[in-house]
Structure 1
């Protein structure tokens, strides 16, 4: 099993929110095996399953449809532990964003961020590589509110000249988005992203400190190495497949990368309740959906990019994964 993946400060924030909602935080924590005393420990952390259970409970008890947004905007830089302090120590915003891309797995081990520069702006996009915390829309609310809060704190600004894009229809609590973000909000888009002007990239964080940055980066490197050492095999295989640039390797080739025999590799994944085929299909599906939403590639090209030499095999697999053909999916999810 992988080590806990989230700082306990996230739970402390959620506990405060529960109190605001008039709910007994201690009894809620106890339902997932946590206590206030444990959360007070400097290195306390929790598993993704515990955070998921707490968010589900908080959502039910609070009856707050905007819980994801409100939780995300309370995630201050210091709540992210050493990575938060590293971001505050950067010389400019672009350095902080590059650092966030590199170490984002310390905050969310099953996700990644991408940064794209287009003309006079940058686009920050969040990609989930594993199970959702709650559901895709709720998770995107946490991500977008958390990133916006971080950038505001770094630059000591109350508001940002930005645009937000969400790949889902406007929810019933859409007015909360406009109230919280105070910017242009676009729903039914082809991806979930935050757009910021290039003019912000050279702005200097209030607490920039190059000498402390080196110390914090060293600590982040150690934490990342520990995360990789203790990650379950399924997560490591998933990350390797996502990063693979030369197509999708066969089970035997992947086993060799992990210095295991195919039999041992297969058994280890089975012990974790998974299989190489299952992980490979999950990654192929996610990449295929991303390409169909966000690229101008033909379906033939996308089939090849996700490891299918025969487009008819890709079409059958995609229908099995999603219940619809690639062409129909593309038509529904692209503007």
Structure 2
């Protein structure tokens, strides 16, 4: 599961709005272009690190979500704007959700009084801060686009929060908010599904539908390549020689072909390898059963010092420093 790179711009815009320097966070955010895929674990850690370190207030994730603009959601955001009604927009989001999360997760249901869009808990949870950003962005987006938008009928989240945070959530959403639910839910009065979208445009909608369909086809091919790369990388790292040539051989393609396919996403083999190693390093550092020397070997480094230098280049901190931060937070 992943998010699109454009979504990380929410955090950049929040930093700008609050005039916060946060050079470490900005450096990490700058790595992602709008059409990049950002693993959920990376987004969750980046968001939590930033808000825990420099944010004030009880629920700063809501302020991050309130910075949302259509560009943060890519073509999906503009497609929703071009829909005829709120109900039409909800169905369009569900149809093209894979462009945002890489998977189709949203479920839509109605009863006698309300319509509900909900998301189940996933094997790789987003966490309360990232869920809070997402739902705050959804509600803010609709508030800005609809004439006299009704408040949600109710909202629910997976995680449990403090009473102070719960009060902040109810004040922001102007509706009852439940915590500790099996789903993240947003409910709207059923009659509100007929509300017209002020920027509806049938011609633009057709064009954006075609673009979104084409992106879904590309996404399927790219996801297959990403899965193949990650599956074979672990073997190459264990052998201590993760080169472009060896990876291409495992994928039964020429090195130039693999280079071209990576270049379509604006990265070289070394950039992809560094990015993948960084993700794995963060996962391994969260495992107290692995020492730094073992992590270095798992990542294909011949010695711990080489791993330390690379991790500092990727993140601006040492592996030991990163582990101590996680230990303090847990």
1:15 is matched with which residue: 12, 28, 40? 12
Count of equivalent residues: 230
Q: CA RMSD in A?
A: 3.3
Taking the aligned partners of 1:6 and 1:233, their CA distance within structure 2 comes to 17
1:6 aligned residue = 4
Taking the aligned partners of 1:128 and 1:33, their CA distance within structure 2 comes to 26
1:29 aligned residue = 26
1:78 is matched with which residue: 71, 79, 88? 71
Give the superposition deviation at 1:53: 4.2
Q: Does 1:223 align with 2:186?
A: no
Q: Does 1:214 align with 2:212?
A: no
Alpha-carbon contact 1:164-1:193 (below 8 Å) kept: yes
Give the superposition deviation at 1:26: 4.4
**In the superposition, relative to structure 1, how do residues 123 and 6 fare at CA in structure 2: closer, same or farther (>3 Å)?**
same
The gaps in structure 2 that reach 5 residues or longer are 229-250, 252-275, 278-330
Give the superposition deviation at 1:89: 0.6
Give the superposition deviation at 1:232: 4.4
**In the superposition, relative to structure 1, how do residues 184 and 80 fare at CA in structure 2: closer, same or farther (>3 Å)?**
same
1:169 aligned residue = 160
**In the superposition, relative to structure 1, how do residues 139 and 54 fare at CA in structure 2: closer, same or farther (>3 Å)?**
closer
Alpha-carbon contact 1:116-1:122 (below 8 Å) kept: yes
The gaps in structure 1 that reach 5 residues or longer are 237-263, 265-271, 274-335
Taking the aligned partners of 2:189 and 2:45, their CA distance within structure 1 comes to 37
Q: TM-score, normalized by length of structure 2? A: 0.60
Taking the aligned partners of 1:75 and 1:54, their CA distance within structure 2 comes to 18
Give the superposition deviation at 1:179: 2.0
Alpha-carbon contact 2:47-2:129 (below 8 Å) kept: no
**Where has structure 1 moved over 4 Å in runs of 4 or more?**
232-236
- After superposition, where does 1:146-165 map in structure 2 within 5 Å? 146-157=137-148, 159-165=150-156
Taking the aligned partners of 2:53 and 2:17, their CA distance within structure 1 comes to 11
Alpha-carbon contact 2:9-2:72 (below 8 Å) kept: no
Taking the aligned partners of 1:69 and 1:121, their CA distance within structure 2 comes to 24
- Partner deviation per Cα, 1:87-116 (whole Å, 9 max, x = no partner): 111111111110100111211125611100
1:201 aligned residue = 193
Please say which of residues 217-226 and 74-83 is displaced more in the overlay: 74-83
Taking the aligned partners of 1:53 and 1:169, their CA distance within structure 2 comes to 19
Please say which of residues 17-26 and 208-217 is displaced more in the overlay: 17-26
Taking the aligned partners of 1:130 and 1:186, their CA distance within structure 2 comes to 21
1:114 aligned residue = 107
Alpha-carbon contact 1:7-1:81 (below 8 Å) kept: no
**In the superposition, relative to structure 1, how do residues 99 and 33 fare at CA in structure 2: closer, same or farther (>3 Å)?**
closer
2:175 aligned residue = 183
Give the superposition deviation at 1:150: 2.8
Taking the aligned partners of 2:52 and 2:152, their CA distance within structure 1 comes to 34
Give the superposition deviation at 1:182: 1.3
Taking the aligned partners of 1:74 and 1:18, their CA distance within structure 2 comes to 10
1:47 aligned residue = 38
